Amino acid sequence: MTPQALAAQVIARDPRAIARAITWVDDGRPGAAALLGALYPRAGHAYLVGITGPPGAGKSTLVDQLIAGWRGDGRRVAVVAVDPTSPFTGGALLGDRVRMQRHAGDAGVFIRSLATRGHLGGVGQSAADAAVVFDAAGFDLEVIETVGVGQDEVEIVRTADVSIVVLAPGAGDDVQAMKAGVMEIADLFVVNKADHEGVDRTIASIEASLSLQDSPPGAWRPPVLRSTATTGLGVPELRTGIEHFRAHTADALGERRRSRLAIRVREALSRQLLAWVESSRNAGCDFETVLDAVERRELDPRAAAARLLAQVLQRR
């Protein structure tokens, strides 16, 4: 199948085509770039909700409840669950249907697990590409749920329109550890498992951290919500909080997305340039020879990079 034919099927909302397209971009198969190129003009309409937090906070159960609420409103929802990478297969360790099985038969819901493949920040490179596929397929809301690995989760902000940090009671140490990273990127906080002991202390810890941040007048201040995802308690309030944030930041959404696109273009440029440098077809840019010089301590890594860049420019 050609990339253009597959793109047409994705735009027509064919579930099998959507699954195949995500496999293409996740595996980096030939034609993936052309596929994304055909889908990209049809994207840009979905609202991306990023959800992160430490393991055991109940993120997946919370997402399951959010899906149910949004589907009740008639919205189509896609979920990208970014899971740890298997050291044996390179695939996702956790199953995409295991945690949200009740939506498996709903044509208005599509759930897909992707592996981090060792990518810092928990969000695999292909997650953003999968978001483009879902967007072009007409989904109204996209949830990107990441593996909870700590401060590196700031990467989620590059993909999401709104970022939600989920914590569990007794997460005081987690709050302290995340101050230098995730605390600064959260648009909403949710203390889940609110029926457990210690919820008030955790909320107070988050509020104390937020009070130390300097915000300009009129700036959005992240609310700290509480929920019990297993029963649905607090989930309507979370949905309302997301809508309030969306309305409050509507005028700045274009700028936020442009900044995100700038990051993606730079990352793509870096990957393509590095691939070109490392390619054996480019004899005038000998990566292995320069690497040998670094190994012999004749060049340091920065000088090696400068030499390779000079070789690239000389071949123009």
> What average pLDDT does this structure show over 109-132?
75
Q: What are phi and psi for residue 202, nearest 5 degrees?
A: -65, -40
Q: Give 1-15 pLDDT, tens digit per residue.
A: 899 999 999 999 999
Instruction: Write the CB contacts of 232 (distance below 8 Å, at least 6 apart in sequence).
Output: 65, 68
Instruction: Please report the pLDDT score of residue 273 as a whole number.
Output: 83
Minimum mean pLDDT among 20-24, 26-30, 37-41, 222-226: which range? Answer: 26-30
- DSSP, residue by residue, 93-118: SS-TTTS-GGGTT-TTEEEEEEE-TT
Which CATH number is associated with domain 44-251?
3.40.50.300
Predicted confidence at residue 88, as pLDDT, reads 39
Domain ranges of the chain: 1-42, 44-251, 261-314
The mean pLDDT of 123-150, rounded to a whole number, is 84
Entry pTM: 0.84
The per-residue pLDDT for 95 is: 46
User: Each residue of 48-79: pLDDT tens digit?
Assistant: 999 988 878 888 899 999 999 999 999 999 99
Give the C-alpha separation, 272 to 270, whole Å.
6
Which stretch of 39-43, 116-120, 230-234 has the lowest confidence by average pLDDT?
Answer: 116-120
